[in-house]
Amino acid sequence: MKDLHAELEPLGLKVVRNARARRLRLRLDRRDGFPVLTLPKGVPERTGLAFVQENLEWIRERQAARPDPVPFLPGTRIPLGDETLLITRTPDRRGATRRDGDQLLVGGELAHVNRRVTDWLKAEARQRLTRQAHHHAARIESKVTRVRVADQQSRWGSCSGRGVLSFNWRLILAPAHVLDYVAAHEVAHLREMNHGPRFHAVLATLLEDPTRGDAWLTRYGPELRRYGVTDAASPTT
C-alpha cells in the first residue's frame, strides 16, 4: 500500500468515500485538474488505487487536454449572447456591476472582480432564460414553476416533474439562438418527459430548426467550460 501511495502521490490524488456510489469512478477536479477517486462502500482503498494506476494514461491525457481557464479579469473580453463585453475595472466606483455599451464596469478591489463578473453573468442568464422559458411555455399552454440557474457539471438544462427548469449559467456566453434552444428544449419536457417522437414534435412547434442549437453545443459547448473548467467524462468500473 505504501509503495502504491508513493507512486500516486505526485498526481495530487483525492480519495472520496461515497456510500451511495455503485462503482469506482475517476474524474478530474474542475478547479485544479487533480484526479478525484470515488470509492463505493465496502471497496478497499487499495482496489481504488490500483484502478487509478490502470488509468494513469487517461489522467495524463485529460489533464493535457484541459482548456486554459479564462479568468474574469480587467481587460478580458467575454462573449455575451451575440455580443462581446470588455471587463473594465473602475476601482473608485461604488454600486453594482453594470453594463455600459460594450463594457462591463466592475468596481471594488481587483480580488473581487472575478466573483462580481460571475454574479452579474448569472443574474443576466437567469433573466434571459426565465423570459424565454415563460415565452415558450405559454405557446404550448404549459406552466413553468420556477427557473434555476446553477453550475451543473454535465448538463446544460433539466426539467423536473414539478415544472422546475434548471440551466447552466454559462449559456449566457453562447449565441442567443443556443440559449433559446436550451430553454425551448426544457420547456418541451413539461409536456413530454422523454426524448421520444412526441417530445420532438413538441419541440418542433417551438423552434423552426432545433438541430441548429444542438449542433452548436456539441461542437462549441466545451469552449464555454473554459469559463470555469468542468469535469470530463471519466472512467468507471
**Would you kindly state where each structural domain of the chain is located, as residue ranges?**
2-65, 114-224
| Under 8 Å between Cβ of 70 and 78 | yes
| Under 8 Å between Cβ of 107 and 97 | yes
H/E stretch holding 130 reads: helix 113-139
| Under 8 Å between Cβ of 45 and 15 | yes
For residue 236 the three cell numbers come to 468507471
| Under 8 Å between Cβ of 190 and 163 | yes
| Under 8 Å between Cβ of 231 and 35 | no
The structure's pTM equals 0.74
Measured on CA atoms in the order 56, 60, 61, 62, is the torsion positive or negative?
Answer: positive
From first to last of its 237 residues, what are the pLDDT tens digits of the chain?
556 666 677 788 888 899 888 899 999 876 677 899 999 999 998 899 999 999 999 998 888 887 778 889 999 999 999 999 999 999 887 788 999 999 999 998 998 999 999 999 999 999 999 999 999 999 999 999 999 999 876 789 999 999 999 999 999 999 999 999 999 999 999 999 999 999 999 999 999 999 999 999 988 987 887 884 444 445 555
| Under 8 Å between Cβ of 205 and 139 | yes
Tell me which residue of 138, 140, 159, 137 sits closest to 148, measured CA to CA. Answer: 159
For residue 179 the three cell numbers come to 440559449
Q: What is the pLDDT of residue 8?
A: 74
Tell me how many degrees the CA angle 108-111-112 measures, rounded to the nearest 5. 55
Q: What is the pLDDT of residue 229?
A: 43
CATH class for the domain made up of 114-224: alpha beta
H/E stretch holding 99 reads: strand 98-100
- For residue 174, give Cα distances in angstroms to 79, 207, 223: 7, 17, 10
| Under 8 Å between Cβ of 182 and 157 | yes
DSSP label of 121: H
